Structure 1
Amino acid sequence: MSILDLEVKISEIEMKLNEISLDDQEEIEELQQQLNRYKKRAYQHLTAWDHVTLARHSKRPKARDYIEYIFDSFIELHGDRLYRDDEAIIGGIAKLGNQAVTVIAHQKGCTTAENIKCNFGMPHPEGYRKALRLMKQAEKFNRPIITFIDTPGAYPGPEAEERGQGHAIAECLREMSNLTVPTLSIVIGEGGSGGALALGVSDEIWMLEYAIYSILSPEGFASILYKDGSRAQEAAEVMKLTAKEYLDRGIIEKIIKEPIGGAHQFPQYVFDQLKEQLNGYLSQVKKMTTRQLLNKRYKKYRLIGEYDSLNR
């Protein structure tokens, strides 16, 4: 039974609970126990595809939700100073406690209209150029940079290619690897392809428990490897795209715990936890010199490269 089938079963039990009179206490307790058993079963042994399903869940909190709750006085900045403002990437200046930071994030929508407006979280080149402009501004004013990653990938349309999609991503990769301020990336949902990596070359990478991070979508991977996009579930297992896999390989530093059912079940729990850990991280990196930061970043990605070479 897939995670979606189990969620349907859980919803059926919840509906029954709502219909029962408060006088039927025994039936309520029995259904509540049944509900807890299903939830425990559903989220104890998730497959890689279950993680993909949860990472893409339409009710999952979006980047703007995290920004509004975690940070104070967020001032959004717009445009790349070349073409236009891309709403698939949002960014600006905010405060976390007494610390000024620059926040940059992929933004998905909650409704169809919002998703169309922000292109389903798939940035154009101007989005990455906006992100790069904000990174260089943060470096100039010595502000730590925090990025939230949640995209299926950069927009692959012809107009994006005409405006230099590959070059814009490459510039982000190059410049982010050399920034002289602390950087932290948090994968909150779907981290797909170079579109995600463009905001992910950081000193540390954290992932939410049910988030995914991969070189491309499972559907795309299956189309290339098996010549059959319908084998996406099989491809997801091969891709090793879960937070635990990345932690075991030393690619990420931390997994942010989610409530049973995913972040959308109890967003406040995730927001509070993340806010506390971000405060701790900023206090820690304040003590590091620029040379120490750059050396640490270099060693991190050198070790990742060595690990990949040894395991090919």
Structure 2
Amino acid sequence: MTHELDAVGRTALLAAAVRATETRRQDRLFEDPYAERLAGETGFEMLEVLHGITYPTDGTRTVFSSPDHVGIRTRFFDGFLRHAAALPSMRQVVLGAAGMDTRAYRLAWPDRIRYFEIDRPAVLEYKESRLDGVRPRVDRRTVAADLLSDSWEADLEAAGYDPRLPSTWLVEGLLYYLPEPEAHRLLERIAAMMPPGSLIASDVCNSTALTCPEWQPMWDMLRGWGCPAVFSCDDPEALFAKHGFDVRAVLPGDGETAHYDRWDDPVPLPSQTDAPRLYYLHGKRC
């Protein structure tokens, strides 16, 4: 069934392969017992290509370590969702472009939570086929829709989402692939579906990350697969503020919140304006 997934959909198999590899480590940052079956042969073949680019056998690594980033990002957003779900007022969790995410199955959730996964039909169908017989640990509801379509809000509400109730949204690994107008439009539309005090998290890179030599092999790989990264933002906190959010940007490798003894690349200082940066964003709807 992987032939039915488009290029961006197949990147979800790559992410699942990274999570499966992380799960096998003695010092793993999380455990995802379903990632291997979701990745399939295609995901591990893609990961082999990525490893060949990132960790050359004949020299020192000079390329940004995307596998470490995905592991750290997963752990970071796991913590964000656990915190959100523990809030007594929280009732709804939404994963935008959910891909092969398995948090509905591997994390513990309060009974009061409704958990929505939005993604295109082919992605959700593939996922359901791979997880046949596995029961989620939450009231999980799927929404077969493209977040760039004009109708996903109605589809989400039809699945039981109430825009008047507090909600938590995670949009992970998506903004990179959206043209800038679409990224702005998506954030605007998400904001319109959330009451004040609701929570949001996402990730994005800065413009230097899209152009610096040490990241180019990874971007070239994705471009060759038909899913080029096209969106970046040098001030993500301002980007989200424009659409009604108050967020904090955290860099992987930050010693307080996003290191986990796994990040080996330098963490840029605020004064380094030309340094590549990834941002993990978390905050609330104003």
Q: When you count helix as a share of all residues, which structure comes out higher?
A: 1
Determine which structure has greater relative contact order: mean sequence separation of CA pairs < 8 Å that are 6+ residues apart, divided by chain length.
2
Fold shared per TM-score above 0.5: no
Scaled by the length of structure 1, the TM-score of the pair is: 0.30
